[in-house]
Structure 1
Amino acid sequence: MGKDIYEQCPSYHKNLITLRQTKLEDAEYLLDCYSDKAAVGFFNSDNCHGDDFYYTTIEKMRQAIDFWNFSYENRQFVRWTIILNETYEKIGTVEMFHREVEDEFNHYGILRIDLQSKYEKYEIISEILNIVTEEFYEAFEITNILTKAIKKADQRILALENANYIPLNKKFMIYDDYFVRSK
Structure 2
Amino acid sequence: MREVAAHLSFGFRHSLRSVVRELVGARGSMDRMADRVARREARGMSREEMASALREHAQHPWTPPVGGVAAALGHDVVHGLDITIPLGLDRRVPQDRLRVVLGTASPMSARFFGAKLGGVRLRAEDLEWSYGSGSEVTGAAQDLVAVLFGRKVPPGRLRGEAAGRFTSA
TM-score range, shorter chain: under 0.3
Q: Give the structure-2-normalised TM-score.
A: 0.28
Higher strand share: 1
Q: Give the structure-1-normalised TM-score.
A: 0.27
Higher helix share: 2
Which has the larger Rg? 2
